[in-house]
Amino acid sequence: MIYFVGAGPGDVDLITIKGRKLLEEADIIIYAGSLVSDEHLKFAKSDCKFYNSASMTLDEVIEIMKENPDKKIVRLHTGDPSIYGAIREQMDELDKLNRPFEVVPGVSSFTAAAASIKKEFTLPNVSQTVILTRMAGRTPVPEGEDILSLAKHKASMAIFLSVKNIEKLTKELIEGYGSDEVPVAVVYKASWEDEDIIYGTLKDIAKKVKEKGIYKTAQILVGGFIEGDYEKSKLYDPKFSHEYRQKRK
């Protein structure tokens, strides 16, 4: 059986219990070495075989799966595998080969980054929507999904894979949001020991990030949810009743 497992954002204890158990039982672990902590491999059996997919092609990964039909294989992806994990193409190949597989979700770096800055993406009157996206780089984005268009929604945003181009990114965000005063938090290596957080606004964040020399492994969080006023939620409002609680005087 093959298991696609989300390793979480960095901290080894941010994998699910199910994911950790699978690591302990695996005969083979194929891990995305560029972002998955080596620490995860310490939980494996002593005779477990490891492959670092960072230097492999899709065909090479599939080949290992193909050659080992009777083994328990864990394909370990960073964060949650459904987000920029490139797992669809692997799953489709396995379907063609009639090989069964399961997917075990993980803590994505966008939620880990929100935890690091201790904020909530969805404040009642600020934004009830989170946009997860990336800027077009070497990989383009489909029409209508450019940063400028997305920013016009003024939703909370978590931008992946884009810190290298933060100058161009902030220019487009300023145009979209129609303001350069929107709060931004750049979270470098959320949940890792060398995590770093840089706060600013669309106006000054690019300069601050450049000064720190950060060019990869960062979440760029943007929106009024990071700073400023908000209304309290109805959920815990004493004047508001719902299925589990009566209105109080």
Can you give the binding site for ligand SAH, defined by CB under 6 A?
9-10, 35, 78-80, 83-85, 108-109, 112-113, 160-161, 187, 189-192, 217-219
The two beta strands, 73-77 and 156-160, are: unpaired
Min dist CB 174 to ligand SAH, Å, is 20
DSSP string for 205-217: HHHHHHHHT--SS
Closest residue to ligand SAH using C-beta atoms:
79
Q: Give the nearest distance from C-beta 44 to ligand SAH in angstroms.
A: 21
Taking the least distance from each CB to ligand SAH, the nearer of 82 and 179 is 82
Shortest distance (Å) from residue 39 CB to ligand SAH: 13
Q: Are 121 and 127 in contact (CB under 8 A)?
A: yes
Q: Which is nearer to ligand SAH, 192 or 230 (CB)?
A: 192
**Sign of torsion over alpha carbons 165, 131, 121, 37:** negative
Least separation in angstroms between residue 190's CB and ligand SAH is 4
Q: Are the beta carbons of 223 and 154 closer than 8 angstroms?
A: yes
- CA distances from residue 130 to 56, 68, 142, 150, 223 in whole angstroms, order as listed: 33, 40, 19, 11, 10
Considering beta carbons, is residue 98 or 139 the nearer one to ligand SAH? 139
Q: In the complex with ligand SAH, which residue's Cβ is closer, 127 or 165? A: 165
What spatial distance separates the first Cα and last Cα of the chain, rounded to whole Å? 57
